[in-house]
A and B are shown apart, each in its own frame.
Chain A
C-alpha cells in the first residue's frame, strides 16, 4: 500500500496533473521492481524523480514510454486510462524519452536524424529541403545555432542531446522524459541544457527529469518524487524541501543497520602491485602507473567516479587486458600470464556488470558456480567431472552465502539481482582465491542483499582473504574499508586509513587529478 507517506505533502488539491499512474506494479524474475506506485506528473512543470540505483526509476519510465509492460496497474493521461504497449503508442500520446545512451545515428545528419522514421516525403521521395527548414526552425526555437546538415558524429555530446530533444519536439511531444541527461556533459553544456529545459517549460512542455545529482535536481525541479526499493516514498514541491530531506527519503532509516563492521586481524602483505599501467588508445593512460599493497584480512576500498579507471585496474590485475604492463606479486611470487594462470595463483574477480561479465545467463546456478573451478571437480583419473563433488561444492557455497534458490539446477537468470551477485561471488570463492576483487558488488541489488554482501565481505576478511572493494558509494566505502584509495583519471589521488578518511576528502580527491599525493608522480 502507498502508506501514509504521501499525506505529508502540501500540494494544492487543484494542481493540474497531466499524467499519473495508479498502483503500478512490475515484477521481474526474482524481484519486485515497482510496488504499487502512484506517481503524479504536473502539467508544464519540471518533475524530478530521484532514488538510489535499483530503486525502480528506469523501470517506471520504461513503462511510461511503452518500452515495458507493467504487471499490474494503470496509466492515466488527462483523466483517461491509456494503453501503452509500444514506444509508438507513447509517442502518439505525446510522451517521449531521451535516454542516457543517445539513440542517434552518428553517420547521418541532424535533419535526417530528427525525421528518422517520420520522414517528410513528397511523392514517395524525401523532401530534404523541407526537412532542413523544419529542423532549423526547431533548433531556433531552442536558441541553438547549429546547421541541420551537420553530421551527428561531429557534434559534442551536449549538442547531440539537444538534437534528441529536438527530435522529440518534432514528434509533438508534450511530456518529455530525460534519464540522467547530464551524466556525460561538461559544466558549460549542463548550463546550455538547463536553458533548453527552461525554454521547453515556457512552451508548456512537461518535463520528467531523472538524476543522481541532487544539487541539480533542487536547482531545476518544480516537483520532486522519491522512489526507494520500488516504492514511492515521498512527493513534494521542491520549494518546500531541502537536500537533507531528499537524502533521508532516498536512503531511508535502514542506513544504520546496513553496514557490518567487525574487528578483524590484518596480517602480512599479500598482494604487491607496482607500476601497473594501461595505455589508452590514442594517447594517455587509463590506468596510470598505479602501485599499492594489500594485506591479509584487509578490505581495501577503491573509490572514484565513473571512468576513473577503477574497473580497468581490476581488469589489469586479473589479466583480461593484454596491453597492461607492471608487476604483481602475490605472497612474494610474481604473477603474470593469462587469466587462467592468475585465477589458479589465487586472484578472483567479481566483475561490475554481473549479467555481462559475471554470469552465463543460459546456464544453471550450479554450472555458473563451478565454471571457473571445473578442474577441481574431476574424478581420480582427472577425466570427467564427478557429480558428487560438484553437488557438494555447490551446496556448500549456496549454504555459506545463503543464496536463495530452491534448486541449484534452475537457470541463473531466474534469480533476483542480489542472489545473482552471490552466485558470482560463489564462483570466485570456489576457485580458492587469496585475493577477492569485488567491483561495485552492491550495484542494483536491494538493501537486504547489500547487507548480506557486506556480511560476506567481513566474514572473508576475518578468514584472512585480502579484499579489494571498488565502489562509487561514499558511505559504503567509508563504512566497510580498512584503507581507502581514491582514483581519478587513472591515477591514485588519495590514500587514507579508516580513521583518517572523511567523505569530503574522498570527494575532493576523486575530482582533483592535480592533487596527487603519496608520491605518484606520473601524469
Chain B
C-alpha cells in the first residue's frame, strides 16, 4: 500500500515537471525572441536603445506584413511564392502612377491621382494578382506551389516591363499635380513610431481578429486541417482559398508601397527573395506547412526573431555568409522543436491515460 502511494506521488511530481516543460515548448517562439534579445543586449550595449528598437521594428514590419498574408495561405494548406514579385510590381505600379499618371488617350489627358488614390489603386493591383493565383489554383486545380511559382515570374516580368527595367526615382510628386506626400508613408511617424510599424500593428490585429473570430478564419483552419470535412460541412472551400491568396496579395502590395516610399524610388527588382523570408517567419512562428495549425501572433514573433537576429549579427559585425548560416540553422531548428513538441504531446496524453486507468 505504502509503496504504491509513493510511486503515485512520484508520478504526480514528474507530471508537473512535464507540464512546465510543455509550457516552455509551447511558448518557444517567444522564448527564442527573449533569448536572442538578451544575448545581443549583453554583447552590444545600446542594442536595447529605443532608437535601435524602432529601427529593428521597421525592418521587421516588412517581413511581418508579408508573413501575415503568408500565414493565411499556409494555414489553408497552400503556399505563396509570388509575394516577393508582387512587392516589386506594386512598387512599380505606385511609382508609375506618381511619375506618369494615368493616360486617358481618348480624352488626350493625363490624370495624376491623389496619393491616397495611388495607394488604393496599388493595393487593388496586389489583390488582383492574388485573385489570379487563387483562381488558377481553385478553378484549374493547379498545385499552389506551381501556380504561385508561375506568378513569381509573371509579376516580376510585369514589374520590369512597366518602365523597361528602369527605376522610377524621386517619387515626391509635384505640387502642381496635387500628388505630393508619398514619402510620408515611409518616413513619417505617429507618436514617434514610424507609419510602417503602425501598419504592421494594425494588420496584425485585424488578421488576428479575422482568424479567431470570423467564420472565414475558422474556415481557413478547417480547410488546412481537413479539406474534405470542411467541404462536407458546407464550407465554400474554393471561395475561401481564393480570398486567402487575395489577402496575401494585399499584404505584398502594402509592402511594395512602404519600400517604394522609404526609398522614394521604385525599382523593378524590389522584394526579390522576400517570399522565402516570409515563409521562414511563418514557420518559425509555429505554423505547420501542412496547414491547419498556427497563428498570426506566432508569425509576428517569428518575424521579430529573424529581425533581431539579423540586425544583431550586423551590429556585431558578422559577415552576410555567417548571418545566412545562422538564419538557416535557426529555421530548421524551430521545426525540429515543433515536431518534438507534437510527439511529446501525444506521449503525455497516453501517459495521463495510463495513470487514469
**Contact (Cβ within 8 A) B209 A371:** no
A363 CA to B221 CA in the complex, in Å? 8
- B-binding residues in A (CB < 8 A): 27-30, 32, 71, 318, 320, 338-340, 343-344, 349, 351, 356-363, 367, 370-372, 374-375, 378, 383-385, 414, 427, 431
Given A351-B232, A385-B213 in contact, is the A371-B350 Cβ separation under 8 Å? Answer: no
What number of B residues sit within 8 Å (CB to CB) of A?
Answer: 29
A371 CA to B229 CA in the complex, in Å? 9
Contact with A along B169-202 (1 / 0, CB 8 A): 0000000000000000000000000000000000
A375 CA to B219 CA in the complex, in Å? 12
Interface residues of B in 65-83 (CB under 8 A from A): none
Given A374-B215, A374-B218 in contact, is the A360-B225 Cβ separation under 8 Å? Answer: yes
By a CB distance below 8 angstroms, the chain B residues around A29 are 346, 349-350, 353
Cβ-closest chain B residue relative to A26: B350
Greatest chain A CB density within 10 A among B222, B231, B233 is at B233
By a CB distance below 8 angstroms, the chain B residues around A374 are 215, 218-219
A343 CA to B231 CA in the complex, in Å? 11
Having A339-B233, A356-B226, A360-B226, one finds 15 other A-B pairs with CB under 8 Å, namely A27-B353, A29-B353, A71-B354, A318-B232, A344-B234, A357-B228, A360-B230, A360-B292, A362-B224, A370-B218, A371-B222, A371-B233, A374-B218, A374-B219, A427-B233
A362 CA to B223 CA in the complex, in Å? 11
By a CB distance below 8 angstroms, the chain A residues around B214 are 383-385
By a CB distance below 8 angstroms, the chain A residues around B225 are 360-363
Cβ-closest chain B residue relative to A339: B234
B324 within 8 Å of A (CB atoms)? no
**Shortest beta-carbon contacts, A-B, top 3:** A360-B225, A374-B215, A372-B233
**Contact (Cβ within 8 A) A362 B230:** no
B109 within 8 Å of A (CB atoms)? no
22 A-B pairs whose Cβ atoms sit less than 8 Å apart in the complex: A28-B350, A29-B349, A30-B353, A338-B236, A340-B234, A356-B226, A357-B228, A358-B229, A358-B232, A360-B222, A362-B224, A362-B225, A362-B288, A363-B222, A363-B225, A367-B222, A370-B218, A371-B229, A374-B215, A384-B214, A385-B214, A385-B215
By a CB distance below 8 angstroms, the chain A residues around B354 are 27, 71
**Contact (Cβ within 8 A) A339 B232:** yes
A344 CA to B214 CA in the complex, in Å? 19
A384 CA to B213 CA in the complex, in Å? 5
**Contact (Cβ within 8 A) A343 B234:** yes
| Interchain nearest-CB distance for B133 vs A (Å) | 23
A372 CA to B218 CA in the complex, in Å? 10
A340 CA to B238 CA in the complex, in Å? 13
| Interchain nearest-CB distance for B30 vs A (Å) | 20
By a CB distance below 8 angstroms, the chain A residues around B229 are 356-360, 371
- A-binding residues in B (CB < 8 A): 209, 213-215, 218-219, 221-222, 224-226, 228-236, 288, 292-293, 346, 349-350, 353-354, 357
By a CB distance below 8 angstroms, the chain B residues around A427 are 233
By a CB distance below 8 angstroms, the chain B residues around A361 are 225-226
| Interchain nearest-CB distance for B78 vs A (Å) | 15
Given A27-B353, A384-B209, A385-B215 in contact, is the A362-B293 Cβ separation under 8 Å? Answer: yes
| Interchain nearest-CB distance for A316 vs B (Å) | 13
By a CB distance below 8 angstroms, the chain B residues around A356 are 226, 228-229
A30 CA to B350 CA in the complex, in Å? 8
By a CB distance below 8 angstroms, the chain B residues around A384 are 209, 213-214
Cβ-closest chain B residue relative to A343: B234
By a CB distance below 8 angstroms, the chain A residues around B224 are 362
A158 CA to B299 CA in the complex, in Å? 52
By a CB distance below 8 angstroms, the chain A residues around B218 are 367, 370-371, 374, 385
By a CB distance below 8 angstroms, the chain A residues around B228 are 356-357
Q: Which of B221, B232, B293, B357 contacts A349 (CB 8 A)?
A: B232
By a CB distance below 8 angstroms, the chain B residues around A367 are 218, 221-222
Cβ-closest chain A residue relative to B224: A362
Cβ-closest chain A residue relative to B213: A384
Q: Which of A362, A372, A431 contacts B221 (CB 8 A)?
A: A362
| Interchain nearest-CB distance for A380 vs B (Å) | 14
A32 CA to B356 CA in the complex, in Å? 12
| Interchain nearest-CB distance for A378 vs B (Å) | 7
**Contact (Cβ within 8 A) B226 A359:** yes
Q: Which of B231, B235, B236, B349 contacts A414 (CB 8 A)?
A: B349
By a CB distance below 8 angstroms, the chain A residues around B353 are 27, 29-30
A372 CA to B215 CA in the complex, in Å? 10
| Interchain nearest-CB distance for A509 vs B (Å) | 29
